[in-house]
C-alpha cells in the first residue's frame, strides 16, 4: 500500500439507540446508529415500526378525523320484485 493515501483505521465503538454497544473497525473513532441487530425486527422477530422521519405519525394525524367508508355499515340494496313471466304481450 502507498503511504499517505489511505484513511486512518480505528477500533470503532458503535452505540445504538436501544443502548447496545459493540466494537468494530472503521475510519471513524465513534459511531451512533438508530438500529442494530439486537433491536432490528428481522433479527428479533418482533414487529417494530422504524419511523425516523415520523411518517406514520403524520399519516395518522392527517387521517384522524376522517371516516373510513369501508368500515361503515352499508344500506341494504333495494330489492326489485320480478314480474311473473308472461308470453303474452
Quick check: pTM over 0.85?
no
Look at residues 40, 2, 29, 34 and name the one whose alpha carbon lies nearest to residue 15: 34
In tens, the pLDDT along 21-58 reads: 999 999 999 999 888 888 877 777 777 666 666 777 77
Give the CA-trace dihedral at 51, 55, 58, 59, to 10 degrees. -110
In tens, the pLDDT along 55-76 reads: 777 777 777 766 665 556 666 6
Amino acid at each position: 500500500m502507498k503511504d499517505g493515501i489511505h484513511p486512518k483505521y480505528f477500533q470503532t465503538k458503535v452505540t445504538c439507540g436501544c443502548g447496545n454497544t459493540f466494537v468494530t473497525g472503521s475510519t471513524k473513532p465513534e459511531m451512533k446508529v438508530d438500529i442494530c441487530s439486537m433491536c432490528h425486527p428481522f433479527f428479533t422477530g418482533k414487529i417494530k415500526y422504524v419511523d425516523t422521519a415520523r411518517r406514520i405519525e403524520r399519516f395518522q394525524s392527517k387521517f384522524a378525523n376522517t371516516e373510513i367508508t369501508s368500515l361503515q355499515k352499508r344500506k341494504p340494496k333495494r330489492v326489485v320484485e320480478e314480474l311473473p313471466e308472461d308470453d303474452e304481450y
